[in-house]
C-alpha cells in the first residue's frame, strides 16, 4: 500500500513539474500589460449595452467585449451589475451634495423615479453630471470630512501601494491585520480572518507554512501512516521536512 502511494505521489509530482514548464514558458512571453489584464476582473456592466432585468434581456456590446479581451487582455468577467445603493444611502448622498432640486428636475424631464434602483440606473448619466462638479470642486480631505458620520457609501480610489502605505485600514490599526515573523524573510503584514463574533474570538493572522513543514502531519492524518512508515520515507529521501539552516 505504501509503495503504491509513494509511486502515485512521485508520478503526480513529475506530472505537475511537466505541466509547469509550458506555463512558465507562456509567462515569459507575456507582456506586463497582458499579465495585468489577466489578473483584472470586470463587472458585466463594462461590456454591456443593455442592463438585464427580470423583464429585459441583458445584451453584451461586442465592441466593448472585443476591446476588453483583445486590447486590455481582461482575464474574467463578473456576472453582476454595479453595486446598488440602498434608499438610505441614496438619500444621504442627495442631502449631503444638495442635489435634491436638480434630481426633481431629472425626474420631471425623464419620468424616472430616482428613489428606485432602476430609475437611478436609467438616469445614471444625468446623475453623474450633477455630482461631477461637486466632487471636482473639493479635495479628498474636504470630501472625507463631509461624508464622515453620514450614510453615504463611498471610498477613495487608490493604488495598491497607497493602500499598503497610507490606509490605516490596511495596517495594525485594523484588528484583522498583524505583523508576522516568517523564518528567512522577516516581519511582514498579514491578514487574519475577517470574521469576528462576540462569543468566538477572531482567528489570528499566522505565517504561511515552510516548505515541508506539514509533511509528517499530512502523511499521518491523511494517509494514516504510522511513525515508523513516515520515518522510512524520510530515510529513503521520498519525503522531506522543512530545510534547516
Quick one: which of 99, 97, 125 has its CA closest to 110?
Answer: 125
Residue 66 within a domain: yes
Which range has highest mean pLDDT (20-24, 53-57, 162-166)? 162-166
Give percent above pLDDT 90 in the chain: 27
Q: Does 17 have pLDDT greater than 80?
A: no
Same domain, yes or no: 132 and 182: no
Residues 6 or more apart in contact with residue 6 via CB below 8 angstroms = 233, 238
Give the pLDDT band (50/70/90) at residue 96.
Answer: very high
pLDDT of res. 50? 73
**Are residues 37 and 69 located together in one domain of the fold?**
yes
The grid coordinates listed for 20 are 509547469
Mean pLDDT is lowest, of 32-36, 80-84, 177-181, 235-239, for 80-84
For residues 90-115, average pLDDT: 92
φ, ψ (nearest 5 deg) of residue 181: -90, 130
Query: Within a domain: residue 188?
Result: yes
Q: What is the pLDDT of residues 167-222, one digit of tens each?
A: 898 999 999 999 999 888 899 899 888 888 888 888 888 888 888 899 999 999 99
Positive or negative torsion for Cα 194, 177, 77, 44: positive
pLDDT score, position 18: 54
> Pairing state of beta strands 177-182 and 48-50?
unpaired
Cut 0.85: pTM above it: no
Helices 124-136/100-110 angle, 10° precision: 160
Instruction: Answer yes or no: is 14 within a domain.
Output: no
pLDDT band at 20 (very low <50, low <70, confident <90, very high): low
What range defines the domain where residue 96 resides? 87-147
**Pick the residue with more confidence: 199 or 45?**
199
Mean pLDDT of 44-55: 66
Q: Are residues 196 and 235 in the same domain?
A: no
The answer to whether position 7 is within a domain reads no
Chain segment 118-175, per-residue pLDDT in tens: 788 788 889 988 998 998 899 888 998 999 999 988 877 778 888 888 889 899 999 9
Residue 119 sits in the same domain as residue 98: yes
Q: Is residue 233 part of a domain?
A: yes
How many structural domains does the chain have? 4
Amino acid at each position: 500500500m505504501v509503495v503504491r502511494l509513494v509511486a502515485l505521489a512521485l508520478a503526480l509530482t513529475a506530472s505537475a513539474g511537466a505541466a509547469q514548464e509550458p506555463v512558465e514558458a507562456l509567462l515569459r512571453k507575456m507582456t506586463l500589460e497582458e499579465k495585468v489584464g489577466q489578473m483584472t476582473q470586470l463587472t458585466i456592466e463594462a461590456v454591456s449595452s443593455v442592463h438585464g432585468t427580470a423583464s429585459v434581456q441583458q445584451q453584451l456590446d461586442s465592441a466593448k467585449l472585443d476591446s476588453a479581451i483583445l486590447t486590455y487582455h481582461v482575464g474574467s468577467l463578473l456576472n453582476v451589475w454595479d453595486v446598488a445603493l440602498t434608499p438610505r444611502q441614496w438619500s444621504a448622498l442627495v442631502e449631503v451634495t444638495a442635489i435634491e432640486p436638480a434630481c426633481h428636475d431629472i425626474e420631471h424631464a425623464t419620468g424616472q423615479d430616482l428613489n428606485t434602483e432602476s430609475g437611478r440606473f436609467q438616469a445614471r448619466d444625468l446623475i453623474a453630471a450633477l455630482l461631477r462638479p461637486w466632487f471636482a470642486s473639493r479635495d479628498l480631505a474636504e470630501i472625507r470630512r463631509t461624508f464622515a458620520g453620514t450614510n453615504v457609501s463611498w471610498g477613495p480610489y487608490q493604488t495598491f501601494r497607497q493602500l499598503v502605505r497610507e490606509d490605516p485600514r490596511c495596517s495594525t490599526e485594523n484588528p484583522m491585520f498583524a505583523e508576522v515573523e516568517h523564518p528567512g524573510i522577516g516581519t511582514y503584514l498579514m491578514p487574519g480572518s475577517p470574521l469576528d463574533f462576540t462569543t468566538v474570538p477572531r482567528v489570528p493572522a499566522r505565517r504561511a507554512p515552510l516548505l515541508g513543514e506539514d509533511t509528517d502531519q499530512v502523511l499521518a492524518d491523511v494517509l494514516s501512516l504510522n511513525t515508523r512508515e513516515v520515518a522510512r520515507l524520510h530515510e529513503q529521501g521520498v519525503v522531506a521536512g522543512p530545510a534547516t539552516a
